[in-house]
């Protein structure tokens, strides 16, 4: 008894009450829902095949967030619905947030923050000291979130994004001062 919550595979799960948000490692069965959230979130989305290939990489952290739905009318327990995900690459003592998204109906509830905090904690555990990511210059909500998590702009990638064409801001976070 006691201890941290774990999946049937023995992996840690983050449980956030009262929202009933569960964060766990991605499984192949999650990919269809992830691809749908991706298409709803980005004008130049990753494909199902790209997510499938990413899931097979060993130097990657791929986490999903599930939200507990309301109990059924018969009083039974509610179901879990996948509402977000984060993909982070591990490259020695550096990491990169390659993708993060939350379903449109679940945004502005702190889910992306919780996903990022969890993946940063996992990256620290495997020796990552510096974390990078790119963000559209016009994405003020994401930029505010990243700034609140300690990311700072260190560069610009001109014309990085397509559909529409836009610069990416390169952000960096030192994970040694958590």
User: What are the respective helix, strand and coil percentages of the chain, to the nearest 5?
Assistant: 30, 35, 35
Does the annotation mark 85 as catalytic? no
Which of 85, 132, 146, 161 is catalytic? The answer is 146
Which of 134, 137, 160, 166 is catalytic? The answer is 134
Element (H, E) at 44: none
Closest among 5, 125, 123 to 66, alpha carbons compared: 5
Does the annotation mark 146 as catalytic? yes
Is-contact 172 130, C-beta < 8 A? Answer: yes
* Number of neighbours of residue 149 by Cβ within 10 angstroms: 15
Catalytic residues: 134, 146
């Amino acid at each position: 008894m006691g201890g941290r919550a774990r999946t049937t595979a023995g992996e840690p799960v983050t449980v956030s009450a009262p929202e009933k948000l569960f964060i766990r490692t991605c499984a192949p069965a999650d990919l269809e829902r992830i691809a749908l959230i991706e298409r709803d979130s980005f004008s130049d989305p990753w494909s199902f095949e790209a997510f499938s290939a990413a899931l097979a990489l060993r130097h990657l952290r791929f986490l999903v967030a599930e939200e507990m739905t309301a109990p059924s009318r018969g009083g039974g327990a509610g179901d879990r619905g996948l509402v977000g995900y984060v993909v982070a690459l591990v490259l020695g003592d550096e990491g990169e947030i390659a993708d993060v998204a939350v379903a449109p109906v679940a945004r502005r509830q702190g889910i992306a923050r919780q996903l990022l905090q969890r993946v940063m904690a996992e990256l620290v555990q495997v020796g990552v000291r510096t974390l990078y990511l790119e963000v559209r210059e016009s994405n003020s909500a994401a930029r505010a979130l990243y700034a609140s998590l300690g990311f700072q702009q260190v560069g610009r990638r001109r014309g990085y994004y397509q559909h529409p064409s836009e610069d990416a801001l390169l952000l960096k976070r030192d994970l040694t001062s958590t």
